Chains A and B, each alone.
Chain A
Amino acid sequence: QVRPVQSGAEVKRPGASVKVSCKASGINFNDYYIHWMRQAPGQGLEWMGYIRPNSGGTNLEQKFRGRVTMTRDTSSSTVFMELSRLGSDDTAVYFCARDGYNLGRPFFDYWGQGTLVTVSS
């Protein structure tokens, strides 16, 4: 199936960090913005920020600045999202998604399958 492929579920202790990967599979990543969202159990979607793989430029939602790092490996068409100083309220499914229209306003046409991050002591 043509979609980004994300890394597997993680269980982390409070205060730890987690790094989630998102690899292009059958779709072009390098010419598009790749965004990250998360969804806490039973909740709606929360936008976290984006990375432009061809330049490495990022834009993060203010509440995540200082705690989230987004990077990329162009050779493998993979982007990464690292979240540090985890707390229980970071327990969520994390999604990467491509902004497929490059209109300067994002509409997400391809989504990864999601990565469940559980923070528990």
Chain B
Amino acid sequence: DIQMTQSPSSVSAVVGDRVTITCRASQDISSWLAWYQQKPGKAPNLLMYTASSLQSGVPSRFSGSGSGTDFTLTISSLQPEDFATYFCQQAHSPPYTFGQGTKVEIK
């Protein structure tokens, strides 16, 4: 199975901050990576697919980069509604595994 490791596990930030989250795959997954946002008690929401493609309806302050084993999700200017947990997911091969999550908290 492909292991997905996110860092950090949590980050404290204020509105307006630039926030970067990293996801590392245990083997080459090309660009087969997605990012999701999840708020408490809710289902995940797709933000990015194929590592750097912005899902329809997602604000442009979200961006993704990387290929191979190392990937990044960046929020360019954190907004109040962005405080949530973020997960990466590899879509390269089954079982389709997720990172353990990064919680973005209010500082």
Contacts and interface: CB of A to CB of B under 8 A. Distances in A.
Physical interaction between A and B: yes
Interface of A: 3, 35, 44-47, 59, 61-62, 95, 97, 100-101, 103, 105-109, 111-114
Interface in B15-46: 32, 34, 36, 42-46
A61 B45 CA distance: 23
Interface of B: 32, 34, 36, 42-46, 49-50, 55, 87, 89, 91-92, 94-101
A107 B91 CA distance: 7
A64 B74 CA distance: 35
A114 B42 CA distance: 8
A83 B59 CA distance: 37
Contacts of B89: 45, 107-108
Given A45-B98, A47-B96, A101 B87 contact: no
Contact of A47 (B36, B50, B98, B100): B98
9 contacts: A44-B98, A47-B97, A47-B98, A97-B44, A103-B50, A107-B34, A108-B36, A109-B55, A113-B43
A62 B95 contact: yes
